[in-house]
Structure 1
Amino acid sequence: MSTDMRLEELVMGGLGDSGLVMGEVDEPTFAGLTERHRRELHVHCYRILGSFEDAEDTVQETFLRAWRRRETFEGRSTFRAWLYRIATNACLDLLAKRRPAPATGGEVPWLQPYPDRLLDELPAGDADEPEAVAVARETIELAYVVAVQHLAPRPRAALILRDVLGWPAKDVAELLGDSVNSVNSALQRARAGMREHLPAERQDWTGGEEDPATRELVRRYLDAGVATDIAGLAAMLRDDVRCSMPPTPGLHIGRDAVVNDWTANGFESLGDLRAVPTHVNRQPAVAFYLWRKQERAYLPLTIDVLRVTGGAITEITTFHDDQFPRLGLPERLPADGTE
Structure 2
Amino acid sequence: MSVDTRLEEPDVDGLGEVDETAFARLTEPHRRELHVHCYRMLGSFEDAEDTVQETFLRAWRRRETFEGRSTFRAWLYRIATNASLDLLDKRRPEPATGGEVRWLQPYPDRLLDELPAGDADEPEAVAVARETIELAYLVALQHLAPRPRAVLVLRDVLGWPAKEVADLLGDSVNSVNSALQRARAGLREHLPAERQDWTGSEPDAATRELLRRFTVATEATDVDALATMLRDDVRSSMPPTPGVRVGRDAVVADWVSDGFAEITGLRGVPTSVNRQPAIAFYLWQEDERAHLPLTLDVLRISRGEITEVVIFDADQFPRLGLPARLPADGAE
TM-score by length of 1: 0.94
- Does residue 319 (structure 1) correspond to residue 315 (structure 2)? The answer is no
- Does residue 301 (structure 1) correspond to residue 297 (structure 2)? The answer is no
CA contact under 8 A between 1:58 and 1:90: conserved in structure 2?
A: yes
The correspondence for 1:330, drawn from 306, 315, 323, is 323
Q: Return the alpha-carbon distance in structure 2 between the equivalents of residues 338 and 147 of structure 1.
A: 44
1:32 corresponding residue in structure 2:
25
2:164 corresponding residue in structure 1:
171
1:190 corresponding residue in structure 2:
183
The correspondence for 1:117, drawn from 110, 115, 133, is 110
DSSP-derived class of the 2:319 partner: coil
Letter in 1 for 2:36: V
Q: Return the alpha-carbon distance in structure 2 between the equivalents of residues 137 and 271 of structure 1.
A: 35
DSSP-derived class of the 1:228 partner: coil
2:90 corresponding residue in structure 1:
97
Alpha-carbon spacing, 1:83–1:267, altered in 2? closer, same or farther (3 Å)? same
Alpha-carbon spacing, 1:137–1:168, altered in 2? closer, same or farther (3 Å)? farther
Q: Return the alpha-carbon distance in structure 1 between the equivalents of residues 246 and 105 of structure 2.
A: 20
Letter in 2 for 1:329: L
1:126 corresponding residue in structure 2:
119
Letter in 2 for 1:97: K
DSSP-derived class of the 2:131 partner: coil
CA contact under 8 A between 1:12 and 1:78: conserved in structure 2?
A: no
The correspondence for 2:231, drawn from 232, 238, 249, is 238
CA shift digits 1:6-55 (9 cap, x unpaired): xxxxx7357x6x2x311211110000110000000000000000000000
Letter in 1 for 2:325: R
Q: Return the alpha-carbon distance in structure 2 between the equivalents of residues 246 and 337 of structure 1.
A: 34
2:16 corresponding residue in structure 1:
23
Q: Return the alpha-carbon distance in structure 2 between the equivalents of residues 116 and 142 of structure 1.
A: 12
CA shift digits 1:270-328 (9 cap, x unpaired): 12111101001000000111111111111000010000000000000000000011111
- Does residue 12 (structure 1) correspond to residue 12 (structure 2)? The answer is no
Letter in 2 for 1:233: L
CA RMSD of aligned residues (A): 1.2
The correspondence for 1:229, drawn from 219, 222, 225, is 222
DSSP-derived class of the 2:326 partner: coil
Q: CA deviation at 1:204?
A: 1.5
Correspondence list, 1:44-193, <5 A: 44-193=37-186
Q: Return the alpha-carbon distance in structure 2 between the equivalents of residues 338 and 76 of structure 1.
A: 61
1:257 corresponding residue in structure 2:
250
1:8 corresponding residue in structure 2:
none
Q: CA deviation at 1:66?
A: 0.3
CA contact under 8 A between 1:274 and 1:337: conserved in structure 2?
A: no
Letter in 2 for 1:175: L
Alpha-carbon spacing, 1:325–1:338, altered in 2? closer, same or farther (3 Å)? farther
Q: Return the alpha-carbon distance in structure 1 between the equivalents of residues 312 and 197 of structure 2.
A: 24
TM-score by length of 2: 0.96
Once the two structures are aligned, what percentage of the paired residues are identical? 79
Q: CA deviation at 1:137?
A: 4.7
Alpha-carbon spacing, 1:293–1:176, altered in 2? closer, same or farther (3 Å)? same
Q: Return the alpha-carbon distance in structure 2 between the equivalents of residues 290 and 245 of structure 1.
A: 18
CA contact under 8 A between 1:162 and 1:169: conserved in structure 2?
A: yes
CA contact under 8 A between 2:284 and 2:291: conserved in structure 1?
A: yes
Letter in 2 for 1:194: L
- Does residue 272 (structure 1) correspond to residue 268 (structure 2)? The answer is no
Q: Return the alpha-carbon distance in structure 1 between the equivalents of residues 123 and 47 of structure 2.
A: 22
Q: Return the alpha-carbon distance in structure 1 between the equivalents of residues 193 and 331 of structure 2.
A: 41
Q: Return the alpha-carbon distance in structure 1 between the equivalents of residues 197 and 219 of structure 2.
A: 28
Letter in 2 for 1:263: V
Q: Return the alpha-carbon distance in structure 2 between the equivalents of residues 180 and 86 of structure 1.
A: 20
DSSP-derived class of the 1:298 partner: strand
CA shift digits 1:153-192 (9 cap, x unpaired): 0000000000000000000000011000000111111000
How many residues are matched? 326
Q: CA deviation at 1:131?
A: 2.0
- Gaps (5+ residues) in structure 1? 1-10
